[in-house]
Amino acid sequence: MSNSQLTPGIAPGRLPADVIARNFDDVEPPFDMHEAQVAADRCYFCHDAPCITACPTSIDIPLFIRQIATGTPEAAARTIWDQNILGGMCARVCPTETLCEEACVRETAEGKPVEIGRLQRYATSVGMARPHPYARAAATGKRIAVVGAGPAGLACAHRLAMKGHDVVIFEARPKAGGLNEYGIAAYKATHGFAQAEVDWLLSIGGIEIRTGQKLGRDVTLDGLRADHDAVFLGIGLAGVNALGIPGEDLAGVRDAVDFIAELRQADLTTLPVGRDVVVIGGGMTAVDAAVQSKLLGAENVTMVYRRGKDRMSASPYEQDHAAQAGVRIVYNAVPLRISGAGKAESVDFAYATNGKPGAETFTLKADQVFKAIGQTLAGVPDGLTLSGGKIAGPGAGVWAGGDCAAGGEDLTVTAVAEGRDAAEAIHAHLMGRA
Ligand code: SF4
């Protein structure tokens, strides 16, 4: 946090170190072997399994669960990775309750799905403790530039490396991992898992990562095109939307994505947080900022969303998680102004109908305000076709995937699927099959 963000109400060490450590430990403990087998035994191994259709990466879920049930979790891991090379992280961050587990026939019949996410975590943990299971095909002599070392870029790079191509990843930040490293709540990826998974993925060989390389600043699309046989853009959404209200520039007001990124790299006992925190927004970023503020010791944390509960992009499971952590969620209210003498002290809101403010207002005390009302594409090279603010037409020799690309939901698992599929398309193109 910059000094300009430090105000008297925002302080580190609101909780003892041992309490903070406990608060940020695994939100859901991993299965041991026995628990995994018991959970696997609940699967009906459905023919035409609806869970597979609901998975954006189409993992053969009944197959991997059967492999766990028969005592071969390393084979289960391979089944998962064949479709989703970041299956370990997806097991931790996927909204399974709205994907595979929602579709599970045992959810439909009994309201209690097979615990697919936890089983996936178990299998990939066992598999990652073994040598990397994929070998590279014979070298093709082709070199591909991947821009962005997030889930889309990493999935693309791994699949290309498997096929014998050489890959250079250009990453703007100091570390690889993208949102897995910088953009999700710390308690979802504990014990350095994001970097461990990147290291494991890179152990296939043939992938070089150059950090501190930003598109438009350190490298250009034209330059990458000239030096490589293909380019994949997985640059995510680096811009943030502004509230456009008075007081937005006061000390104590910041983008939730910056807070989350800082938190992921920080010593949590020294990370300052407000006493009265207001988070504006209704997505996962808002939930992650709100819950983590509470876990750091903020006394009052309120999330305010402009529409109703059913319109919130954070899933009902995440909303419940926030509520259980002590976060108050106010629906149907829009911010009017942030007030204070040089620093945030309160936020005025108007109650809203369908996101439109009405006459009735209320005020929340706030020494820290997080803005989480969506991210946008930033630093896009000229010449790309955009649709809905995202890359729709990358152009000759250029592919795109993940959050920066049009179509598909902004989920880690969707980014992995798009990176993987782009790698297949690039391979077919380079080998003269498309
Ligand atoms: S739908 Fe549920 S019970 Fe059927 S295969 Fe998938 S996980 Fe197993």
How much distance in Å is there from the Cα of 49 to the middle of ligand 1? Answer: 6
Ligand 1 centroid–CA 101 distance in Å is 8
CA distance 271 to 286: 18
pLDDT at 395: 80
Is residue 332 domain-shared with residue 314, that is, in the same domain? yes
Q: What is the mean pLDDT of each successive set of 10 residues along the chain, which is 434 residues long?
A: 57 92 88 97 96 97 98 98 98 93 96 97 97 97 98 98 98 96 92 96 98 95 96 94 96 96 94 97 95 97 96 90 96 98 96 95 98 91 86 88 89 96 97 76
Are 404 and 233 in contact by the 8 Å Cβ rule? The answer is yes
In a domain, 133, yes or no: no
- Span from the CA of 118 to the centroid of ligand 1 (angstroms): 14
CATH of the domain at 339: 3.50.50.60
Would residue 229 count as lying in a domain?
yes
C-alpha distances out from residue 235 to 35, 210, 231, 300, 390, Å: 39, 14, 12, 35, 11
Task: Measure Cα distances from 65 to 110, 122, 206 in Å.
Answer: 19, 11, 31
The pTM assigned to this predicted structure is 0.94
* Ligand 1 atom 2 nearest Cα: 104
Among 128, 152, 177, which residue terminates a domain?
128
The residue contributing the CA closest to ligand 1 atom 1 is 104
In terms of domains, do 217 and 262 share one? Answer: no
Residues with CB under 6 A from ligand 1: 43-46, 49-51, 61-62, 65, 104-106, 114, 116
Among protein residues, the one whose CA lies closest to atom 4 of ligand 1: 46
CA distance 206 to 214: 21
Last residue of a domain, one of 128, 162, 194: 128
Cα→Cα distances 131→63, 87, 176, 199, 326, Å: 22, 16, 21, 12, 42
Ligand 1 center to 48 CA (angstroms): 9
Nearest CA to ligand 1 atom 8: 43
Looking at the structure, do residues 248 and 366 belong to the same domain, yes or no? yes
Strands 230-233 and 207-211: unpaired
Q: What is the pLDDT of residue 20?
A: 94
- Do 107 and 187 sit in the same domain of this protein? no
Q: Which of 42, 43, 68 to mutate to test the pocket of ligand 1 (most atoms within 8 A of CB)?
A: 43
Tell me the residue range of the domain where 200 lies. 143-238+377-430
What's the chain's length in residues?
434
- Quick one: which H or E segment has residue 403? none
Q: Whose CA is nearest to atom 6 of ligand 1?
A: 51
Overall number of domains in the chain: 3
What's the confidence (pLDDT) of residue 60? 98
Per-position b or e across 195-206, b if 16+ CB within 10 A of its CB: eebbebbbebeb
DSSP, collapsed to helix, strand or coil, labels residue 79 as helix
Whether 117 and 160 map to the same domain: the answer is: no
Question: Does residue 346 lie within any of the structural domains?
Answer: yes
pLDDT at position 434: 56
